[in-house]
Structure 1
């Protein structure tokens, strides 16, 4: 399996859809489904009936998973979207932003 280009905790930019242009932090990655959950992006509302656990019921808002191809990593230099490449620096395999050449981790 190839190394993940986007990981939990990364800052990403949404490339398409209703939230295009918004940025957020990755809170969850679902590699088997090819989806990603980003904080504050793709918020879905669910109308919940009152239950014993939640006697009030009401409207619940939460982030829904979106396809990983709809987001790109935010460049550490300027926050614009960039692709990711892997390089070996100081004997370690690290992720590097293609636009600026900045190291993303490590």
Structure 2
């Protein structure tokens, strides 16, 4: 059986990482700001804290226990989020530059703020 090119899983390069603060730029949650909890590079999706909330009805597991309604974040496409500067309260694209030690870092284009700090 031959493997087709469309059957292979493609891993996309995301412009955001886990822990980044982002702003949603389209969809029902447009304008919301949150932190990235998890990334899915193969699907090009991210989970943002407090964005795209879904409710799930959970049945009781034991006798005498009551059922509950659980809310949790669902993934959204990475193209719908933009990095956000908490200091200046503005969303911006990123560019890559080198710091004084020669390490490649991510920088916000609008503010010049360096995101990668280690």
Return the TM-score normalized by structure 2.
0.79
CA gap of 1:92–1:2, structure 2 versus 1, over 3 A, is: farther
Q: Structure 2: how far apart are the matches of 1:34 and 1:56?
A: 37
Contact (CA 8 Å) 2:14, 2:78: kept in 1 or not? no
The residue number in structure 2 matching 1:9 is 19
Q: Structure 2: how far apart are the matches of 1:40 and 1:7?
A: 17
Contact (CA 8 Å) 1:86, 1:96: kept in 2 or not? yes
Unpaired runs of at least 5, structure 1: none
Unpaired runs of at least 5, structure 2: 1-10
Contact (CA 8 Å) 2:47, 2:75: kept in 1 or not? yes
Contact (CA 8 Å) 2:60, 2:66: kept in 1 or not? yes
CA gap of 1:43–1:15, structure 2 versus 1, over 3 A, is: same
Q: Structure 2: how far apart are the matches of 1:31 and 1:2?
A: 5
Q: Structure 1: how far apart are the matches of 2:80 and 2:69?
A: 27
Residues 48-59 of structure 1 mapped to structure 2, 5 A cutoff: 48-52=58-62, 55-59=65-69
What is the CA RMSD across the aligned residues, in angstroms?
1.8
Q: Structure 2: how far apart are the matches of 1:49 and 1:14?
A: 33
Cα distance, 1:76 vs. partner? 4.5
Find the partner of 1:96 among 81, 84, 107.
107
Larger radius of gyration: 2
Find the partner of 1:32 among 18, 34, 42.
42
